[in-house]
Structure 1
Amino acid sequence: MTRLSAPTFPSFGKRLKRQRAALGLKQEALALALGVSQTTVSRWESGAQVPEHEMQQRALRELGASRADDAAVKRLIEGADFAVHLVDEASHECLAYSKTRARDWNVSMRSLIGVSLWQFATEEIQQAEAELDGKGWWDDIAPAPQRLITSGAIYPELRISPGGMIWERMYLADGRPVRLTTGF
């Protein structure tokens, strides 16, 4: 699968802090794993500094390395009769999707598992993601669900149909925040 050049994540610092805190990881431990200082991680999280895209990806991969397998949640999503998918909140890595979503995307049932869907985000999805910070999404443990309407897009890897979606935060067994995206 060809990877598109993904745009930088909006609100990276708050995204990183939410993910790190949910996993119970200290800034110092993350800094050590990334070969940077604790002060650097603190600056990233406060928004005083923004790391290069490659370092953002590396940090998010590091925080995702100790994942527990939430098989029951994935089975519920895969067996749903409506268009729904689950992504890692920080990296947008696809964790599960329903058969209806697979048909909508025009993909097989497992082809996008482990792939960051951010690279396929439409302008409306990117805009809605950028607006989450102003709505307290990264500060609240259980933020209010967000509704948005997106245009369609066609990529070699998948097709996005125009329509509405609802974003809801959930937490997996290991404490990792994930986003349930349901079409309407």
Structure 2
Amino acid sequence: MSVAIIPLAKNLGPSLRRWRVINRVKQQALAEELKVSQSKISRWENGTSEPESPELRRLLNLLEARPETAADRALQALVMQSSHPVHLVCDLTHRLLAASPKRTRDWHIPLSDLMHKPLWRFASGGIRDAEDTLGDNGWYEPLGPDIVFDTERADFAEMTIPKSRIRITRLPLSDGRFVRLVRDDVTVAA
């Protein structure tokens, strides 16, 4: 996986801290497991330092969302069976975990060709702008809000991103890793 195209710098620290808290892992214990100093873990979490390539790969292996429990797989199944345009990605790496048939209607290649691959390379300007503001909008808080934003049409050989309003929701998996539910935001007039 090419990690250079994924916006990890802003996401890694809060994701690592949240995973540690949920799993009751102290910085020192994680540092020993990763064979780095506790102060390095602290710097990664507060964003004053970024991991080197080998360290980053170990962190991604630790933090990448992997729906493994029955509850996690049920979430995947609900997304795959949804009649709405929706997909599920790893919150940290944007790796595709599930997509509804209505979402994939704008994709020009089979879903299987994109499963477990990062979708970040298909991000429109609107998606990239929204990603840059996640931390400022409380995304990494324990009960972070949904984020709603507009995206313009973007055409790629593999898929078309239609002009739309998107709602993203951050959901924890059973093991404390996070996924992002991405759906078209349909506002119902009152």
Structure 1's consecutive aligned runs of 4 or more residues displaced over 6 angstroms after TM superposition are none
Deviations 1:153-181 (A, max 9, x none): 22333322221110111122223221111
- Distance change (3 Å), C-alpha of 1:72 and 1:134: same
1:97 offset after TM fit, Å?
Answer: 0.8
Q: Pick the structure with greater CA Rg.
A: 2
* Structure 1 equivalent of residue 93 of structure 2: 91
* Structure 1 equivalent of residue 62 of structure 2: 62
- The AA in structure 2 aligned to 1:88 is C
Q: In structure 2, what is the Cα distance between the partners aligned to 1:125 and 1:52?
A: 26
- Distance change (3 Å), C-alpha of 1:99 and 1:20: farther
Checking the alignment, whether the CA contact within 8 Å between 1:4 and 1:119 is kept in structure 2 is no
Deviations 1:102-149 (A, max 9, x none): 1123332332221112232222111111111111211x1121111111
What SS is found at the alignment partner of 1:111?
Answer: helix
Unaligned runs of 5+ in 1: none
1:55 offset after TM fit, Å?
Answer: 4.2
Deviations 1:48-70 (A, max 9, x none): 21234664344122223875242
* Structure 2 equivalent of residue 9 of structure 1: 8
Q: In structure 2, what is the Cα distance between the partners aligned to 1:14 and 1:146?
A: 17
- The AA in structure 2 aligned to 1:119 is R
What SS is found at the alignment partner of 2:180?
Answer: strand
* Structure 1 equivalent of residue 123 of structure 2: 121
TM-score (norm 1): 0.84
TM-score (norm 2): 0.82
What SS is found at the alignment partner of 1:90?
Answer: coil
